[in-house]
Amino acid sequence: MSDVLAFWAASLVIAALALPIGFRFFRRMPDGGAGFAFALGLVLTSYLYFILRVARILPAGRGGFVLAVLLLVLCSAAACGRDGRLASTLRRSWPGIAMAAGLFTLAFFLAASFRSYQSDIGGTEQPMDFMYLNSVLVSPEYPPQDPWLAGHRASYYYFGYVQVGTLTAVSGVPASTGYNLGLAYAFASAAVAVAALAATLTRWLRDAGRRGGMIPAGATAIVALLLLATVGGAFELFAAHGHANADFFGLFDMKWRISCADQMRDFCWSGQPGNRTDSWYPTEFFFGWAFGLTRTIPNTIIEFPIFSFLLGDLHPHVTAIPLVLLSLGLSAGAWRGRSALNLLTHRQRPFDSLVVGIVLGGLAFQNAWDVLTFSGVYAVAVLVRNLRRSSAATAITDTVGYLVPLGVLAVVLVLAWYVDFSSQAEGLYPYVGAGTPPSLAFVQFGPLLAAAALCLIFLRRSDWPRVAAVAPFTLWLVLIPMAVWVVLIMTVSEADLDTAIDARTGAGWATLVIYGTLAWTLASAFLVLALRRSVAAFPTGLAVVGIMLFFGSEIMVIKDVFYGGAPRLNTVFKLSYQAWILLSVAGSVAGAMAAQRFIRNPRSSAAFVVPVAAIFAAGLVYGITAIPNRTNGFNNPSDIDGLAFLSRNDPAEYALTRWVSENVPPGDTVIEASGRAWKRDEKGQPVVAEAGTDYTDSGRISARTGRSAPIGWYFHEIQWRGQSPANNALFSSRQDAVDRVYTSTDPATVVEAMHELDAQYVVVGRVEMARYPGMIQDFSSFLDTVFSDGDLRVFRAPVYRVVATE
């Protein structure tokens, strides 16, 4: 419990230090920006640590992280000194500040409690995330090294790991505990930020003296972002209890959750139809139903935040949620501001420009997919603000003058990361294949589509003729992407236009029409609301962007390593996740207004509000039932340390890991199993039995300690660095050298391989003995044994010293 309290206290302190800085951007918000202070404080502290480590100013280790916090103190003090309205802002905002701190605390301890029942760091992408967290904590130099490719710097967007590492180091908790508490922090920080944003927009929509609707909007936003999920959860609940109607399930293309015999596909229920649970929630394997419902649309991954937190991967798209919400808060503040934003603004408020530049640059640094979408939202907010003050020509000139230097600054600020970043993405390509049928679009995104449609409630009756009048001017929003799709089909695609049209299928085209029509209508509503200077234009604009992300992922893909087998897998995954955040905000604000109208006049609004509420309720079933499923009814062993399972189940392996962490210098290389499995052939010679290395115990020591291994997960390195002949040769040669260490019977060959890999240590644990059965020679005859526990060993190359003689 002391670790949890220390981590929580560190989070609160950093957020408190960021409050004076946040006042400069969020002063007009009811809480003064307290809801964004957690994200803002951590982003600034982590960036200070990163850039000053790169500049070799801060030392490695906990001391450097603490010094970064002290630098935030200085920045905050400088902001206080320049703020003549600090005291009045504090007096006005203290109720909101107290509420933000209380909400964060409640959400953090709830999330930490959940993580304690599912704390093991060992499945899915967790070893990779743990590896990067350890790397940012112990790397002897910055940019940090890639522990799964010794001698090379990390080539990934790792800013989220720096942030979790900051809290881990400052609070003094072990990395294996910081991993789980980092997830709890991301959950709580996202909760308080989305509540603050939704409550603020609702307040701005109301008369100045009325606060009604703020708390319901904030609460709804938390539920929409962090608990709402696919409608498939409701289908699963009925199927698990044996109450599935095949005809009804068939209408939504969901028979696969009744039985594979009804609909054969990935993650279909392979058992007998009927009751398959012994509790009120589905008790079947989490990775069967809850995981499978993120693959409802074939050949895609569609996560949503509640699934991410249930799964427990500390991935960039998860840790980026608070930063994304911070950027939306800055966008809302820019939208609401009064003075023009232009080139002169940077000279007048350079500190503010620096902070915004760090946030916008951080979007790329933390999750590169987010930078275009949310920087674009900020740019539109600035343009609308300037349009309210001046003519179109002047507003455009001012906006360009403000945004271009800001964009350059954002790039420069993260250049130290970008120079080592190597993506495997090959550009924008047209999607050729079956589109999403409307049935599955509803199952997967029904609550979000309902939330988007709910934004039309912002319109008055007198607005609808204006909506029709501007509709011809907003149609370009849908037509231009379609035109680009056609051009790309004719220029870069291997398919011709007729083939591409046929491949989409009628159902796929129907979904595209639904998305396009909704986006077109919302865009028209946005323009009308913006012309009458309604704050409702902002959430409506977020809804437009969210639906356009769905629309775009139906016709375009980012070509990557998955392109050959599942071309739109990553594109749908990342863009739909962004849409979930945007539509959670927009829908909660619209929902608060709809609820108030329904209370005042149920008859006039029931036809619209009740179906939306029903879809929303169906979307809550997944989270409500998956939480007890994931924790085995909260009967799993409880421990917040992510390596507690290793200590319980394999004390010797745990002791080996601890020894490496405490005794091997961070700059040294430790050889461990390459991940390939070996056997002996008919002649008794070692041969590869299984070549797959990803999602195995390969790289476990480096992941758990941050010490470098020659090679870790092969395919992940390809994802991070690209599939080139040079990379393939490098990775394969590393695997070959590691395998020679464990399969050779010649000491000279082993030593030569260690020299080739510039490695100082060799691990012989249970994984190595299983991967190289009966092949590992006795290293103790020519290497120093530095750790021993049962059959497990760690060996070190002998260290020779020159001794002076008389």
Nearest Cα to 427, choosing from 602, 600, 559, 295? 559
Amino acid letter, residue 568: R
The count of structural domains within the chain is 3
Name the token pair of 91. 């007096």
β-pairing verdict for 670-671 and 761-764 = parallel
Tell whether 510 is covered by a domain. Answer: yes
- Is there a single domain that holds both residue 154 and residue 21? yes
Q: φ, ψ for residue 561 (rounded to 5)?
A: -70, -15
What is the pLDDT at residue 806? 56
d(CA 134, CA 142): 13
**DSSP secondary structure code for residue 123 in this structure:** S
CA torsion through residues 316, 579, 304, 559, sign: negative
For 668-694, how does the pLDDT look when each residue is reduced to its tens digit (9 = 90+)?
999 999 989 999 888 888 888 888 888
- Is there a single domain that holds both residue 328 and residue 457? no
**DSSP secondary structure code for residue 435 in this structure:** P
d(CA 192, CA 187): 9
- 179 contacts 642 by C-beta, under 8 angstroms: yes
Name the token pair of 793. 């060993």
- Is there a single domain that holds both residue 525 and residue 674? no
Nearest Cα to 619, choosing from 307, 309, 312, 324? 307
What is the pLDDT at residue 212? 60
- 743 contacts 756 by C-beta, under 8 angstroms: no
- Is there a single domain that holds both residue 682 and residue 579? no
Tell whether 571 is covered by a domain. Answer: yes
- 130 contacts 661 by C-beta, under 8 angstroms: no
d(CA 433, CA 571): 14
What is the pLDDT at residue 494? 83
Query: Any idea which residue has 């000491």 for tokens?
Result: 747
Write out the DSSP string of 168-197. HHHHT--HHHHHHHHHHHHHHHHHHHHHHH
- 103 contacts 37 by C-beta, under 8 angstroms: no
Query: Any idea which residue has 């600035």 for tokens?
Result: 382
- Is there a single domain that holds both residue 397 and residue 459? no
- Is there a single domain that holds both residue 151 and residue 195? yes
Helix intervals (H) in 206-266: 214-226, 232-240, 246-251
d(CA 102, CA 125): 32
Low-confidence ranges of the chain (pLDDT < 70): 84, 207-212, 800-806
Residue partners of 775: CB distance under 8 A and separation at least 6: 678, 680, 686, 742, 743
- Is there a single domain that holds both residue 24 and residue 62? yes
Tell whether 607 is covered by a domain. Answer: no
- Is there a single domain that holds both residue 42 and residue 184? yes
Tell whether 582 is covered by a domain. Answer: yes
What is the pLDDT at residue 5? 97
Tell whether 239 is covered by a domain. Answer: no
What is the pLDDT at residue 208? 42
Amino acid letter, residue 28: R
Tell whether 555 is covered by a domain. Answer: yes
Q: Angle at Cα 186 formed by Cα 181 and Cα 189, nearest 5°?
A: 115
- Is there a single domain that holds both residue 411 and residue 508? no
Tell whether 381 is covered by a domain. Answer: yes
- Is there a single domain that holds both residue 401 and residue 472? no
H or E stretch at 317: helix 316-319
Q: φ, ψ for residue 549 (rounded to 5)?
A: -65, -40
Could you say which of 418, 436, 454 is where a domain stops?
418
Name the token pair of 393. 């020509």
Peptide bond into 143 cis (omega under 30): yes
d(CA 657, CA 642): 13
Query: Any idea which residue has 């539109």 for tokens?
Result: 380
Describe the crossing of helices 175-205 and 321-336 by its angle, rounded to 10 degrees.
30
H or E stretch at 670: strand 670-671
- 218 contacts 198 by C-beta, under 8 angstroms: yes
Write out the DSSP string of 59-118. PSSHHHHHHHHHHHHHHHHHHHHT-TTHHHHHHHHHHHHHHHHHHHHHHHHHHHHHHHTS
Residue 387: how many other CB atoms lie within 10 Å: 18
Could you say which of 371, 400, 418 is where a domain stops?
418
d(CA 86, CA 80): 7
Tell whether 310 is covered by a domain. Answer: no
Cα separations (Å) of 282 from 88, 149, 262, 385, 737?
53, 41, 20, 50, 47
Cα separations (Å) of 199 from 322, 574, 668?
16, 26, 51
- Is there a single domain that holds both residue 675 and residue 772? yes
Could you say which of 387, 418, 449 is where a domain stops?
418
- Is there a single domain that holds both residue 411 and residue 430? no
What is the pLDDT at residue 693? 81
CA torsion through residues 364, 33, 178, 291, sign: negative
Name the token pair of 168. 């881990």
Nearest Cα to 171, choosing from 6, 56, 303? 6
Residue partners of 209: CB distance under 8 A and separation at least 6: none
d(CA 474, CA 523): 6
Q: How many DSSP H helices and E strands does the chain contain?
A: 33, 8
Host domain of residue 398: 2-226+316-418
